[in-house]
Amino acid sequence: MILPLPPLLASGGIFFAFEHSNLAGKGVILLLAVGSIFSWSVMVSKFVYLRRARQENKLFVRRYRNSRAPLDIYREQRRYTVSPAAAVYQAGAAELAFNLLGSTEADETFAARLQTAEPINSVGMSSVRSALERAVGEEGLKMEAQLIVLATAVTGAPFLGLLGTVWGVMDAFSGVALAGQASLAALAPGVSGALITTVTGLVVAIPAMFGYNFLVASVKEMTVGIENFAAECLADFEHKYLKTRG
């Protein structure tokens, strides 16, 4: 003999709970669904961006280290679209060119003018250092952009889901009190509908938490990398173009 399924399982637990959630619960679920779409779009776009940036960084740093002089790549004016290391180098090289030549334009006479340029003093090199540091900070902010969406999803989604649950449970008990029937059959649908908002909040928050932690670690790693590269560039600039005493 086959026993009949309980009504809750027969109708599907999630669908049953959603059908019996109140208007506030459905509104909370809608807000959480929108938040989930935003958080997933941020996670995917940032992952793709950081992956491309890491690949371009490797190519650019390898090319920089294989160049003959620190300003060779700047003279060629080859563009790297998403490489933070290239952006940092470009800022430092432009400031160095301005201090050496009085202009940041890298035209066909750039190499000839650079050969006859006088080394710069420590004050000029300090401005180059500042340009590199500013560029590192700007690239760090660019890599961290939109991570606040994930942080908000991690911290806000469970509380928003809990709000919907508390509201739903309150309505369920109020309905039982008004009906005058304190039975499990009368209370269960309302409680089930209330709990779905907490489940939805956790479904939104848990992937956002893993994505946020992964992206923050990746951004930190890349930031340290471009800081080290900026220090390498500055050392090369000083070795080649800083005026020595005496």
Residue ranges of the domains in the chain?
21-241
Mean pLDDT value of segment 8-28: 66
The token pair at 45 is: 């776009």
Q: What is the pTM of this model?
A: 0.81
Neighbours of 24 (CB within 10 A): 17
In this predicted structure, what is the pLDDT of residue 168?
78
**Residue 245: band (very low, low, confident or very high) from pLDDT cuts 50, 70, 90:** low
Count of residues in the chain: 246
In this predicted structure, what is the pLDDT of residue 1?
36
Is the pLDDT score of 240 beyond 80?
yes
Mean pLDDT value of segment 71-100: 90
For 124-134, write each residue's pLDDT tens digit. Answer: 999 999 999 99
The average confidence (pLDDT) of the chain is: 85
For 206-234, write each residue's pLDDT tens digit. Answer: 999 999 999 999 999 999 999 999 999 99
Q: How far apart are the first and last CA of the chain?
A: 103
Of 181, 158, 171, nearest to 22 (Cα)? 171
Q: Mean pLDDT lowest for which of 9-13, 25-29, 103-107?
A: 9-13
Q: Are 172 and 194 in contact (CB under 8 A)?
A: yes
